[in-house]
Structure 1
Amino acid sequence: MRMLLTHKKGPVSFESLRTVEGVIYDSYREAVKALGLLNDEETWLKTIMEIISYTNDRDQLRSTYASMLVFSDLEDQRGIWEETKDLFASDFLYARGLTEYNEEIYRDALDDIQEKVYNNGGAKIEEYGLPPSRDGKKSFNIIRREKSYNKTRLAEEVKEKLTTMNTDQRHCYDTIMERVKNSKNYSNNGFFINAPGGIGKSFLLNALLDTLRSTKKIALAVASSGIAATVLHGGRTAHNMFKIPIMDHKDVRACSVKRNSEHAR
């Protein structure tokens, strides 16, 4: 309906909104399709390949694809999936130490896409034409996902970052990593990094995140806004990560992380 209201001039009723060249269509989707406003498969494939040309981060690729699923329209998502599923699942192949793809690896990728679709306010991925995830049969393995980063690549990137840090950045990095390694020896392990914008705080934070993930540790990158979260590797908003409800100041509610769930663990 939103697309029709944007592109059709002068509709006077819901019926006229669904009318294209004298034909009254039963649904808004059919009317949109008749107007040629639905994205075609070739456009989607070009978009996915363009993302691949700019980044090797498969988690970011799946995040972008999930957003495309929720906020765009395409008739044949199954065709897109079949043609590009190796690209979406390559990090899971590497994480499992395998050389050939199998259904379990593709299911790993579908599970992750499903979770990202939910995070964008979407529905089950089969409603978009994709094969079903293991939602309902097997919980999303959040812990596995957080440990599925390419550790060799991250270690190489950390090594490069360390050579370009200035004195203050390196002092922060060394101090925080010392606390990570020996946290039991200290009573306070919280840090606040204070510096003007554009001076390299995000660079430092990403170096810390990459270091921890390269050693198989879980590092949760959280920011207060979506824009700030995109700057951090694997970043998510606090509302998303901790399931903080959007509330009126008079409301008293709890975060909706279920007890004993994988998310809680």
Structure 2
Amino acid sequence: MIVEMLNQVNPYVHQFRSARDRFNTNPETTFHMRIISSREKDGRAYDTPTASEVAALIPGDFNLEMDKIDIVLEEKQTGWLKRISEIHPSYLALQYPLIFAYGEDGFRLGIEKRVTEATAKLKRKNISMRQWYAYRIHETEGESHTLLHSKRLFQQFLVDGYITIEANRLCYLRMNQKSLRSDSFDSIQRSENNGNTDMHEQGSRFILPATFVGGPRYMKNMYLDAMVICKYFGFPDLFITFTCNPKWPEITRYVQPRKLSPDDRPDILCRIFKCKLDRLMSDLTEKHLLGKTVASMYTVEFQKRDLCLSADEKQQFALLEIENILKSNGFSLEQWENMPMPDPDIVGNDNVLILNELSYDREKLKAEHDRDIGKLTEEQMNIYREIVDSVVNEKGGVFFVYGFGGTGKTFLWRLMSSAIRYRGKFCLNTASSGIASLLLQGGRTAHSRFGIPINPDEFSTCTLIPGSDQANLVKTASLIIWDEAPMMSRH
């Protein structure tokens, strides 16, 4: 019965059957089925697809513009779905054919709001994805409530909608990383005191801003707000736990006539809980049910079990974690405790990294340089003279030195770094691997020196913050030696 019903009313069933017939006719030929995502008519009206295009897939046809991504079905003896956009108008009809049996459009970009006195004052003329999904999970007159009575399938729809909304928010942040930056107030103030008026390069790029709910910056802001409240008003006098009860009369009155259980409508549970929570906070803060309230804060969380630890148990657990981390990195606790402490005179200065570079014994470096300069081959001497001359005379340049293992590249790096350092200039020795960096005096991995992610991709950014000690060290460097540079990822 269900298959017959879909054959009669669902336009996408006809398209897939037409494509299946073509595949059966020519099984050795690869076809591509594309469902065009553009809509010329109003998306709120039923807009039946009138044609099914079967064409070759053009290389480079995809782009990052969300409103131009199409569903592409690639048939290679399997008929598997190759790619689909979550904001394609046909996505929900294909994902949930029993709920959207008539092939109704899902969310798409450009759905305009109805013109009313309220919407005329708003800047946004189109509805957002969150508003569209919020509308779909409410009962409306004149529409079938198949979705709201789908029980576990409705739960999947809610999760799918949440993931779709969050994915597009993350996509926006990922595509706008160049214009989103963050920095501490002290760093901005120090930069302004130094006479910098252009703040476009101030601070570092970030992955998630504080406005992204659930992100690390959001959680840190909430934590700091709570600490400030406790610091100003003192510790809380009351700690109240408010739990949602699925047998509340408001919930049972709604689900019983519809022959549903409370688990089938988690949206109703959340709405009733939020209404009662707001009423509780109003009674406590406005009506002063338990006395005058000067400050309040609350958090909503899911209950977790078997996670109640005492203070001593938490401390022992933390110490055990630290010990495991040290052992996994080759330490024992005795080595950790006996590690030399940094010079307090150096730590007290402004930039410790720069002071470390200035702490080399220049006379000793010059003596070692003069002793080893005669050991260079003619080819090595030409490389040495060209690079050192560019540094000393501030000509600038990028040099790529290639040679097989054992040809003396590391010896050349050490000699050039000594030549730069005994002149009072800065030379940063880096390498693509930790082992290679140990062979160079003051060597660091490129990941550590420049804040490069361990597994970079085309959207990765360095964590080198402009104005920081590490960034100022790189700016003052006269020469950067990067050993084993071709081993790094192309990103």
Give the TM-score normalised by the residue count of structure 1. Answer: 0.50
> Between Structure 1 and Structure 2, whose CA radius of gyration is higher?
2
Give the structure, 1 or 2, with the largest relative contact order (CA under 8 Å, sep 6 or more): 1
Is the helix fraction higher in 1 or 2?
Answer: 1
